Amino acid sequence: MPNTKKTGLLMKQPANAAREQAVEVRFGQVGILQVRLHTTDPGSIVDELTGKTATAPHFFERTPVCLDLSSLPKMPPAEEIRSVIEVIRRAGMMTVGLAHGGTAVDELATDLELPVIHHVRASTKTAPIVQAAPASAPAAAPPEVPAPEPGALPALLQHQPVRSGQRVYARNRDLIVLTPVAAGAEVMADGCVHIYGPLRGRVMAGAHGDTDARVFCQAFHAELVSIAGVFRVFETIPPELAGMPVQAWLAGDDLKFAKIGALEP
């Protein structure tokens, strides 16, 4: 029988064969809670965070958080922040980076092997997102580039239902949602958010710190409401407002809720 040579036959591929991609790299928006530290005392931090997360433990479980160090009296050493990261983990959340705040933050992030998250800027407002116990002396706030004013563009209209796992973001403008927002979905805007349907997911207005932003909803069942970083979860919202047409707004550091058309308290 003749000796048939098969060398190389198994390796030979058509020239136009599609090459399967190993990975895809895309830019996307990621929801990250911001923990603004006023102290690095582990006991104070874990006590306060545990109290906050106890209202909705499943919501905060393994939630990614970004540390904002701008309110500390001085930049702490890496070991102190490692202790903070550990107590945050004990409270059920996971630190994934530091909020952008200059050269000192960059150097600290390098020591901690954490990224600096530039789209989560260190806040200079008094309304925190998740606030630890106050320190004895406030820090001077670093200069910050102001965000563009909401309302400069026409409102973004959302005509399709916002399904679980989806996010709709109106940058530098209001958001008008004409459809239901499902549980597990997120709608957010730098201005106000208007929802002409049931809201069962999360809503965030004033995403760049606009404390005058409001949320308006036709049928209120929200998992979370946030305005300028101040948030409340459904378990802490007055139960008599469930399913009602509701508006939410900030009064100082307090997030208020009322039926649409009722006098504001």
The CATH number assigned to the domain holding 63 equals 3.30.70.260
Which domain CATH number covers 170? Answer: 2.160.20.70
Q: Is 161 in the same domain as 118?
A: no
What is the domain count for the chain? 2
How much is the pLDDT for 50?
80
Mean pLDDT of 5-30: 58
How much is the pLDDT for 118?
73
pLDDT band at 31 (very low <50, low <70, confident <90, very high): low
pLDDT band at 198 (very low <50, low <70, confident <90, very high): very high
How much is the pLDDT for 238?
80
Q: Is the pLDDT of residue 221 over 60?
A: yes
Least confident of 34-38, 91-95, 124-128, 253-257: 124-128
Ramachandran area for residue 38 (φ above 0: left; ψ -120 to 50: alpha; else beta) = alpha
Domain that holds residue 232: 156-259
Tell me the whole-structure pTM to 2 decimals: 0.57
Could you say which of 81, 98, 131 is where a domain stops? Answer: 131
Contact 75, 110 (CB under 8 A): no
Q: Is 91 in the same domain as 182?
A: no
Q: Is 176 in the same domain as 106?
A: no
Mean pLDDT of 91-105: 89
Q: Is the pLDDT of residue 101 over 90?
A: no
Could you say which of 131, 147, 181 is where a domain stops? Answer: 131
Contacts of residue 217, Cβ cutoff 8 Å, sequence gap at least 6: 195, 199, 203, 245, 246, 247, 248
